[in-house]
Amino acid sequence: MYLTRIAGTGSYLPSTLLTNLDLEKMVDTNNQWIVERTGIERRHIAAKHEATSDLAFQAATKAMEAAGITADQLDAILVGTVTPDQVMPNVACVLQARLGCRQIMAMDLSAACSGFLYGASIADQFIRTGMFKNVLVIGGETLSRVVNYEDRGTCILFGDGAGAMVLSRAKDGERGQIFSSHLGANGALGDLLTLAGGGSRLPFSQEVLDKKLHLVQMNGREVFKSAVRAMRDRAVEALETSKMTIDEVDWVIVHQANNRIIEAVADQLKVPMEKIPVNIRDTGNTSAASIPVLFDESVRQNKIKRGQNVLMVAFGGGLTSGSVLLKY
């Protein structure tokens, strides 16, 4: 059995900013209301010419540079996203061609905000069994394309971005390993957070467009309760499986959905906020990109250091949830 380590990380946020003051001109809301309820002040928005694969490409090249590997050394690409460029080819295949990789496995994963952790868990299994040595795992979203800017309950939350990690087979003497990963879903609550239009159930039609069913719809209050519960449960599973206490964890990377959710998870796990990096003020909720973007920023800011224990937890539409406990 081989061990998996994070060899390198990277992230990319588009240059265009959508601030709360901008949203005040678009929908019935105000800066104070948004900040008090979400902690968000601004979010990054992809340019008209930028698709999810463009954001992912930027994050991927930075992660590969940090890992010191080239495209021909990659054995697989996994992309967590609910906003692909198109239905097919998938984002991973677009990246496989653009990066100049061999004809390797390239697959998208649709698990909403948990998508990156789903991908990291799958990559870890491939590496542990010896099938792959290097897997590029990405979370990338252009949520601005599927947000209803007439709905003040959702349009204030979401932003665009991409984060990436190269997960590699650890060599003798190299620090770092993934201890365990835990994934879950509660499909019975799936209607709390939906993007219904455009699939085989509700193909695109004038009615779908008129009712805005091709845009995100959410029951925020119920999602809040389920999110806190699910992330707490996945975190506890990770700690118990690895026979580790929360005090032994140096950093907890919580999906950046809402500042109140982050604080509630911290309270449930009895973790001081000093151990929980937060960037939601400047990014909003970037779904599958949230955790890898925050992880990369924390590494580059010299917060997360080699040899430290990190717990990552996420929750998203589906309803999905996941955790990954590792030593960086």
CA distance 167 to 119: 10
Q: What DSSP string runs through 173-241?
A: T---EEEEEEEEE-GGGGGGEE--TTSSSS-S-HHHHHTTTTS-EE-HHHHHHHHHHHHHHHHHHHHHH
Q: Which of 113, 155, 182, 258 is catalytic?
A: 113
Counting every residue written for the chain, the total comes to 328
- For this structure, is 258 an active site residue? no
Q: Which of 155, 182, 255, 258 is catalytic?
A: 255
Structure tokens at 65: 């540079």
CA separation, residue 180 to residues 5, 119, 322 (Å): 12, 13, 11
Closest CA to 46 of 185, 110, 140: 140
Strand pairing category for 320-327 and 309-316: antiparallel
- For this structure, is 259 an active site residue? no
- For this structure, is 113 an active site residue? yes
Count the neighbouring beta carbons within 10 Å of the beta carbon of residue 187. 9
Indicate which residues carry an active-site annotation.
Answer: 113, 255, 285
